[in-house]
Structure 1
Amino acid sequence: METAARAIDTIKSFRETRLSALRPPSEFFDPNRVSRPADLNQAVSRISYNTRYFSGNYGLIIAVLANYEPAVAPIPRLLIGGFSAINKWAPEPMQVGDHIVTQKSLYTGLFVIGLPLLWWASPLGTFFWLVGASGVLIFAHASMIEPGVESEYAAVQDEV
């Protein structure tokens, strides 16, 4: 019971911290605020401000890209699903034709299928794809969107 309460508290704190940082799509995709930065200093200034201001939206972009990438999602789900299926439906050895199938042989089969798939999915390449794709999208958006009027007062609030 204590674990359920802790999980609910974690979800509430996640909703209060991360989901409250989400900006509406009309603000995130505002075409009136799109402009090319004049120089590198202005681009860095915009990136610095916008990555903090739109942090919730950028986190959502990373989550969508991580779920989009076909190599990331299926392999861990296959392995986790295989473990849970073996534990749920085959706790005892069973007779299949003339053979006795044990949990050990099912786990061996899962590894024989799952590990080559994991190698084929190239998790390191997928990780760098995710970092590169999200970095390009986030930096491009953050450098092209002009900070709103509230950005002028951000420095004043930090000093107070």
Structure 2
Amino acid sequence: MDVLMRVTDTIKSFRETRLSALRPPTEFFDYHRISRPADLNQATQRITYNTRYFSGNYVLIIAILAVYALIKNPLLLIALGFLVGGFIAINRFGPEPLQMGEHTITQKHLYTALFVIGLPLLFFASPVLTFFWLVGASGVLILGHASFIEPGVESEYATVQDSV
């Protein structure tokens, strides 16, 4: 029950910190502010400002892409479910050794069986490929958006507030 409370507290703090920074869709998808940066310096300035300004929206994009990646790779979803479910089941139901005829099955045996089955399944699910796809897709989307959206008028005041 203590773990559930920690997870709930973590979700609440995440919602308060990151998701409170969500900008409205009309501002995030404002096509009137789209323009090509003049040079690399201007693109870097836009990326620096927009990644801070739209950080909540970008975290939401990464989360949506991660869910999409899991849905498109059902073997990875099964492998992760098997490993996480196995850990939960072993911790909940297998803390004491179990006597099966002449054999005693300990928690160590259960974890070994979980790894012997789960790790090859996870290997065939290609989590590294999925991770790099997630990094690449989110990087292209976020850096593309951040470099092509002109900062609003409030960005001029942000530099004044930082220097005061």
What's the counterpart of residue 24 of structure 1?
24
What SS does structure 1 have at the residue aligned with 2:137? helix
Equivalence map 1:127-138=2 (5 Å): 127-138=131-142
Length-normalised TM-score, structure 1: 0.78
Matches within 5 A, 1:45-64: 45-64=45-64
1:40 and 2:44 matched: no
Question: For residues 78 and 27 of structure 1, what CA distance do their matches in structure 2 show?
Answer: 41
CA 1:64 to 1:103, structure 2 compared with 1: closer, same or farther past 3 Å? farther
Identity percentage of aligned residues: 67
How much has 1:29 moved relative to structure 2? 0.7
Equivalent residue for 1:75, pick from 52, 62, 79: 79
Matched positions, count: 157
Deviation at 1:113, TM superposition (A): 3.0
* Counterparts in 2 of 1:73 and 1:28: CA distance versus 1, 3 Å: farther
1:155 to partner: Cα distance: 0.4
What stretches of structure 2 of length at least 5 have no aligned partner?
none
Partner of 1:141: 145
- In 1, distance between residues paired with 2:4 and 2:82? 26
CA contact (8 A) 1:86 1:103 kept: no
36-45 vs 7-16, which moves further: 7-16
